[in-house]
Amino acid sequence: MKNLAVNKDYAMNDEQKTLKYLEEVEAKAEEILMDRQEIVALDKRRNDDRMGERALRNQKFDKTWMAVGPLLIKMSTNSAQELLAKDQRECDVEINKIRSDLRVKVNQLRDLEHTQSVPGLMLNPMSREEMLAVNQVLGKSL
């Protein structure tokens, strides 16, 4: 009878470990999916800013109406263009930050799943100075 109770406790402990493991994997996967959705939303906002900026360039009026959140504001066309350009830069920064965090999260998920990390995932692009040095060594000029 005592053996049966010990085996039952061991099985419960094993089930709890498995459940905890699955919860960790699901939580990390959910973080990754939310980050990807946020990147898509920010990219859409950045494209909307780009379209608005292009439309303002073609406009011949000094003032324009612009929706800022729930408000509709009349402002100078130059100020509206600057506001859109600033928002576009902020979106770029936020997208790059999320993408770099996403790389780490994907590797953490792969570690939880006991699989190899994705080769080349943590690579960063070469800077302009590095590209100039490589081209100089190869004898190419820009």
Domain that holds residue 11: 2-138
Q: What whole-number distance in Å separates Cα of residue 42 and Cα of residue 102?
A: 15
- Average model confidence (pLDDT) across the chain: 86
Which pLDDT score is estimated for 140? 73
CA distances from 116 to 18, 106, 112, 129 (A): 21, 11, 10, 32
The count of structural domains within the chain is: 1
Q: What is the CATH number of the domain that holds 79?
A: 1.10.287.370
CB of 84 closer than 8 Å to CB of 46: no
Has this prediction a pTM greater than 0.75? no
CA neighbours closer than 13 Å in the CB half-sphere of residue 130: 4
pLDDT in tens, 74-94: 999 999 999 999 999 999 999
pLDDT tens digits, one per residue of 48-68? 999 999 999 988 889 999 888
CB of 87 closer than 8 Å to CB of 17: no
Partners of 65 in the beta sheet? 74
Strands 63-68, 71-76: pairing is: antiparallel
Residue 118: what pLDDT? 67
Other Cβ atoms within 10 Å of 85 Cβ, number:
13
Which residues contact residue 16 at a Cβ distance below 8 angstroms, ignoring those fewer than 6 apart? none
Can you say how many angstroms the Cα of residue 48 is from the centroid of all Cα atoms in its chain?
A: 18
Q: Of all residues in the chain, what percent are helix, strand and coil, respectively (each to 5)?
A: 75, 10, 20
Say if residues 22 and 109 touch (Cβ distance below 8 Å): no
